Chain A
Amino acid sequence: DVKVTQSSRYLVKRTGEKVFLECVQDMDHENMFWYRQDPGLGLRLIYFSYDVKMKEKGDIPEGYSVSREKKERFSLILESASTNQTSMYLCASRPGTRNYGYTFGSGTRLTVV
């Protein structure tokens, strides 16, 4: 079964901490994405990557950065966590063909206190 695996299901961090959210896919997909999901706002795109070492800003990149050193791994970094970054974070991947849907991970629920 193809998979997108997010390393943590729940995380609690303190304000100001640097936070790493990891995502690994085993499908050899070119494209990878990070979304955050908040009630009433749906999914908002933070960053995405077409391929290894490539990254593009999404709709809400402020306060985040990403790293993609290997094709299967896409990391989201919160440089200095703030309480307004408390959210559900979803990683997704897709082949490099636009008419495929996404495969999502199970999500990481991050709480910043």
Chain B
Amino acid sequence: AQSVTQLDSQVPVFEEAPVELRCNYSSSVSVYLFWYVQYPNQGLQLLLKYLSGSTLVESINGFEAEFNKSQTSFHLRKPSVHISDTAEYFCAVSDRTGGYQKVTFGTGTKLQVIP
């Protein structure tokens, strides 16, 4: 069985400050990792994903996440946040093995950017 833990349900941060949203996972097999963002009253959008190769992955709007296998983490970071980054962020994990790819989502972290 796999699981995802997002310890912080809410993260307030001032505009232009850095932010880190934490994600830890557990799985008995190799995994793919994803971050999704949900803006108010919208569905989720894929922000970035780790499949293989470089452990640091980036999105087009300045977010990055680093896969750390030893710590089973995939934390999301941005060096300087903007008001428009206010949203809920979900970490997700799926296994690489055969059969149906079960995707497990975390409970989400609400990022509130304060002007």
Interface residue ranges, A against B (CB under 8 Å) = 4, 35, 40-43, 45, 48, 50, 56, 90, 92, 98-99, 101-107
- Sorted nearest first, the 5 A-B pairs with minimum C-beta distance are A104-B43, A98-B101, A101-B46, A42-B107, A43-B105
Q: Are B43 and A105 in contact, CB atoms less than 8 angstroms apart?
A: yes
11 A-B residue pairs with Cβ-Cβ distance under 8 Å, sorted by A, are A40-B9, A42-B107, A42-B108, A48-B100, A56-B100, A98-B101, A101-B36, A102-B103, A104-B43, A106-B41, A107-B43
Q: Are A40 and B107 in contact, CB atoms less than 8 angstroms apart?
A: yes
User: Does residue B42 face the partner (Cβ distance < 8 Å to A)?
Assistant: yes
**Given known contacts A92-B44, A99-B51, what 10 new A-B pairs fall within 8 Å (CB)?**
A43-B105, A56-B100, A90-B43, A98-B94, A101-B34, A102-B36, A102-B103, A104-B43, A104-B44, A106-B42
Q: How many residues on chain B are close to A (CB under 8 Å)?
A: 22
Out of B42, B45, B105, which one reaches A42, CB within 8 Å? B105
In the bound complex, CA of A45 to CA of B102 (Å): 10
Q: Are B49 and A101 in contact, CB atoms less than 8 angstroms apart?
A: yes
User: Does residue B90 face the partner (Cβ distance < 8 Å to A)?
Assistant: yes
The answer to whether A107 and B103 touch (CB under 8 A), given A40-B9, A42-B90, A99-B32, is no
Out of B96, B100, B107, which one reaches A41, CB within 8 Å? B107
Q: Are B100 and A50 in contact, CB atoms less than 8 angstroms apart?
A: yes
Least CB distance, B79 to chain A, in whole angstroms: 24
What sequence of 0s and 1s flags, for each residue 59-95 of chain B, a beta carbon within 8 Å of any chain A beta carbon? 0000000000000000000000000000000100010
Least CB distance, B95 to chain A, in whole angstroms: 8
Out of A35, A43, A104, which one reaches B45, CB within 8 Å? A104
